Chain A
Amino acid sequence: MVLKSVELTRRNTLALAGIAGLAAVLAPRLSFADEKAVAEEIKKLYGDKTFGSGKIKLDVPEIAENGLVVPINVEVESPMTDADHVKSVHVFAERNPLPAVVSYRFTPACGRAAASTRMRLAETQNIVCIVEMSDGKLYMTKANVKVTIGGCGG
């Protein structure tokens, strides 16, 4: 009798812990941005223009152990002359509470269209990078980062 009640309690505790864990996983997602939010941000910047592929080397880790500090390096193929250079680069994270990560503006004086920084990622998601050239051409690339521990206020 005593044994049985102990077992029940343990089972209850386990079940409760399971529900709490599930809630913790699901709850933050409700308020999070998604692919649509990123698409909207891009639309705000460039309207309905189409994006080419290639040219961009988006360097992010495949697996980030700590979502608080994820290195990101962007390099764009370009001669960086007055006539032909990279004007701006925008980086978005699809499943962060706020999708925008960073925007760079380059000038021909940079010599090389490359920059690196460190970002926070809330969870496993796609990183979207769009590039605008001086002639108005647009390019886009995506990369997936698996995040082991999220970095948005826990």
Chain B
Amino acid sequence: MATKPTPRVRVPAQAKPGEIIEIKTLISHEMESGQRKDSSGKVVPRKIINKFTAAFNGKTVFEADWNPAISANPYQSFFYKASESGEFTFTWKDDDGSDYVATNKLTVA
């Protein structure tokens, strides 16, 4: 992989208490499925992000287990019910053991 995966996350900066907000995430990653063959007929080894986790103030809110059937540059959206101000931590776990992390602040007022 030539470039390091870059996460992009869209979270509203502010929310009212009890408001349900949508969180959209995108990360650049080829998501090599392990099903493809290269020009010499060898199987290209699998290398995907296998897990996405969203936590708020350290508490896990939402998790997604991704399989090779997830498209390259995986997109994931989900919802969160705002209750207090704090910080989101988004973690993407790669097959090679590396973690890609993004954080976003949310102010609830």
Q: Which residues of A contact B70 (CB under 8 A)?
A: 101-102, 117-120
Chain B residues 5 to 50 lying within 8 A of chain A, measured CB to CB, are 20, 33, 35-37
Q: Which residues of A contact B37 (CB under 8 A)?
A: 153
Q: B106 contacts the other chain (Cβ, under 8 Å)?
A: no
Instruction: Let me know if A103 and B79 touch, CB within 8 A.
Output: no
What residue of chain B has the Cβ atom nearest to residue A69's Cβ? B71
Instruction: Let me know if A102 and B64 touch, CB within 8 A.
Output: yes
Q: A10 contacts the other chain (Cβ, under 8 Å)?
A: no
B58-86: CB near A (< 8 Å → 1, else 0) gives: 01111111111111101111111101000
Interface range, A side: 20 to 34
Instruction: Let me know if B80 and A98 touch, CB within 8 A.
Output: no
Q: B56 contacts the other chain (Cβ, under 8 Å)?
A: yes
Question: Can you list 6 pairs linking A and B with CB atoms under 8 Å apart?
Answer: A108-B81, A109-B81, A115-B77, A116-B75, A118-B70, A152-B35
Chain B contact residues, CB within 8 Å of chain A: 20, 33, 35-37, 56, 59-72, 74-81, 83
3 nearest A-B pairs in the assembled complex, by CB-CB distance: A111-B81, A153-B36, A112-B79
